[in-house]
Structure 1
């Protein structure tokens, strides 16, 4: 019996296996709309047997885009394309989630392939908890007012409504990788003196408010996930102990999954990536907070994924780059392990 290819029910959503396609920006959108690229890229991974596909970071506010080529969900007009995309993926047996994001101080006003040609990175419209730039060659963001905070909260509310209308099976709130909600969590970026800064309770306030809003707007049967950076690789930054405490609070607010990544809060951070380097974060949060977790980060083989799940270190494993290399990764892993798996009848001759 394969742990990876066993079903998992999260609230009212039954996943056919425990392999997740991790959110990865495609930089293929114009004004936030789904493009032909998205309509080919994501459904091909559904055909390939993925259990859960989580769409790339999708901006809840125009000024919160990581780049001007990001997907968006900040206009009602975005729903139609997203609905078509979701329908295609679901028709091939995958469940589909969307990662709702706001880039905060890491918003940029040009495509990523132009970064080497600009003297100063960032966007002049960028907002953040405090006026602290990401690095020495970045623009200084505007410190958010209380009005800005309320606008962002309502942007998440409207985004959740639109995501529900588009038919997504799961919603993920992006609170990792140095983007806006992570910026509020981390002492490195949050130097506010009001009720949104200072103590742990104050720094987690905005994320909890966004989660509360999401849970209010979502159907009871729809799972809610939060991606966090479990640690900051910067002195005085967010810690794993804080992540455990945050996970307990998120679970109490109705969060079903903690997607456990790490880092990217500041330009000067330094850490080593190696296969499974973030798995201990998912394992500890799962054990101490009693909440389901997703392990992510250089998970490259079936054997590695199977070990993580079989030993109770996480409930799901998310894979990124391997899915870019091979849209039929689940089928290939199952074949290599000698497992019986449903193969599209059009492909049976290859199995």
Structure 2
């Protein structure tokens, strides 16, 4: 089996290794949604550090869909130039570049009323949202589609839909947050309708060779929510609609923590979805021990490993992993003397 530092190909995209930088909000965008110099340096440093796939943080498809007023936006053509600058620099140092496009739904904290499938929230810090009408749902589908067009124009190699952590796509999927009685609520088929419409719309504007990723919350740590088997069924539907790879996280719909948090605690989700839905997966969850990350890939439990806090602590985590695993990882000549 291939290891962490081996290349990986999905559709027309070949990654130089199987290390992905997990999307992590920085909350330093300008209030108009444009990226700041921080983003250029932050992502550029990880490209220099040898990451195979850098996934930019959640980027909002509309202004009211931001997690905060300082989130990156991709709802306007004015956002493209700044994103293109980051992408071009990443490509210069061999990194593949992705962007997570998102809508925060009930968990948005902007100067506009937030929206959701139903007018309820499980979090005291968030205001009760406005329930989306069917017409408004259709408008948001089109905004995801337009955001994907801009992602292509900015030069990204892949797009990831944020369907996890209690944000809008996840809110429609979850029986905890979706109490609708129309065609968008109730049965699993109905709760899938909006996410599947978004997938279809986004897929229609991506180049044929560009993979579409989707992040999911494989468990919401509640017996009143969907089961892992139901999530496998959802992912099977996502695959049929055009998703090529699934980024397997958990939680977010409720203010509850997992029963236990330890290195690799979420790998079980990536493994179950990979086997059950027959789709490539990305494992997440405290995987910054190189030996553990290698084990996950080498044993075929997931296809990529997403590193989050480890890459915040050290932009050269990939090189550290390569040294630990006695593997080769090219770095710019300016840094060669360090090794």
Q: What's the TM-score, normalizing by structure 2?
A: 0.97
Pairing 1:280-319 to 2, within 5 Å after superposition: 280-319=268-307
Query: Which 4+ runs in 1 deviate beyond 4 A?
Result: none
1:176-212 Cα offsets, whole Å, 9 max, x none, are: 0000000000000000000100000000111111000
8 Å CA contact 1:105, 1:134 repeated in 2: no
The alpha carbon displacement at 1:16 in A equals 0.1
Aligned length: 338
Give per-residue Cα distances to partners, 1:141-199, cap 9 Å, x unaligned: 00001121011101101000000000000000000000000000000000000010000
- Pair 1:153-2:153 in alignment: no
Q: Report the aligned-residue RMSD.
A: 1.2
Cα shift at 1:124:
5.1
How does 1:117-132 map onto structure 2 within 5 Å? 125-132=113-120
Looking at structure 1, the residues matched to 117 and 259 of structure 2 have their Cα atoms a distance apart, in angstroms, of 25
Is 2:39 the counterpart of 1:51? Answer: no
Could you give the per-residue CA deviations for residues 297-343 of structure 1, whole angstroms, max 9, x where no partner exists? 11121100111011110000001000000000111111122222212
**Contact 2:106–2:126 (Cα < 8 Å) also in 1:** no
The equivalences for 1:174-253 within 5 A come to: 174-253=162-241
Question: For the residues of structure 2 that align with 1:20 and 1:339, how far apart are their CA atoms?
Answer: 17
Shift of 1:139: 1.0
Contact 1:191 1:197 in 2 (8 A): yes
Does residue 106 (structure 1) correspond to residue 94 (structure 2)? The answer is no
Structure 2 residues not aligned, in runs of 5+: none
Point out the more displaced range, 266-275 or 326-335. Answer: 266-275
Structure 1, unaligned runs of 5 or more: 110-122
1:60 aligns with 2:61: yes
Deviation at 1:269, TM superposition (A): 5.6
1:21-36 correspondence runs (5 A): 21-30=21-30, 31-36=32-37
Deviations 1:82-123 (A, max 9, x none): 1111001111100000000000000013xxxxxxxxxxxxx6
> Do structure 1's residue 91 and structure 2's residue 92 form an aligned pair?
yes
**How do 1:162-177 and structure 2 match up within 5 A?**
162-177=150-165
Secondary structure of 1:77 counterpart? helix
Instruction: Measure how far apart 1:2 and its partner are.
Output: 6.2
